[in-house]
Amino acid sequence: MKTILKSKVWASIVMLLIAAIGFAQQAPQLNDAEIAHVAVVANQIDIDYAKIAMDRSKNPEVREFAQTMIADHNAIIEQAVALVTKLGVEPQDNAVSQSLLKQAEATTKMLKAAKGAAFDKAYVDNEVAYHQAVIDAVKGVLIPQSQNAELKALLKVALPILETHLGHAKMAQSKISK
């Protein structure tokens, strides 16, 4: 029963992510201020997940991964903030950012309800799904739609970082599920 419930939860999360990407792809053109907002929100969401992991997990690998997520996503946010400050642009709230935050609220609830090994699995599974969704959004929406060359370049710098995180999360996932 528990397994069926878990599967249902994961199916709904995956559907939400797919819907979000689909929504983002069908959404009206995002301007650079909105793209900058999405970049900051998406990175902050992963920092917040990592902070929950640092509070709850005792698994050294999960904790090391979470520490890296905090350091790296903060570094990306710093670059994004430095760029918008330089360009004199105020990041602008938008439907994609709101959609990401809405999903994050549901995921946070799910993570906070899990304990011990179940938490580690839920956190790492979510990291795999979340990074994959963000990579797809950066590749398919944010990079093609950004107009400013420096913003586009920053998104291209962020991409291999996200891809490395995905590889790291998948490695942790394969160890946890053994």
Asked if 157 touches other proteins (CB under 8 A), the answer is yes
Contact with other proteins (CB under 8 A) among 15, 71, 106, 113: 71
Asked if 76 touches other proteins (CB under 8 A), the answer is yes
Closest CB 67 distance from other proteins, rounded Å = 8
- Distance CA(113)–CA(93), nearest Å, equals 29
The answer to whether 165 touches 50, Cβ cutoff 8 Å, is no
The answer to whether 20 touches 99, Cβ cutoff 8 Å, is yes
Residues 19, 21, 26: CA angle, nearest 5 degrees:
90
Cα distances (Å, whole numbers) of residue 78 to 59, 153, 165: 29, 15, 18
- Among 5, 16, 176, CA closest to 99: 16
Tell me whether residue 76 or residue 104 sits nearer to other proteins (CB atom): 76
Q: Which stretch binds other proteins (CB under 8 A): 5-13, 34-42, 139-147, 160-168?
A: 160-168
Contact with other proteins (CB under 8 A) among 28, 60, 88, 160: 160
x/- track of binding to other proteins for residues 9-48 (CB under 8 A): ----------------------------------------
- Among 65, 47, 63, CA closest to 55: 63
Tell me whether residue 19 or residue 71 sits nearer to other proteins (CB atom): 71
Contact residues: other proteins, CB under 8 A: 64, 67-68, 71-72, 75-76, 78-79, 157, 160-161, 163-165, 167-168, 171
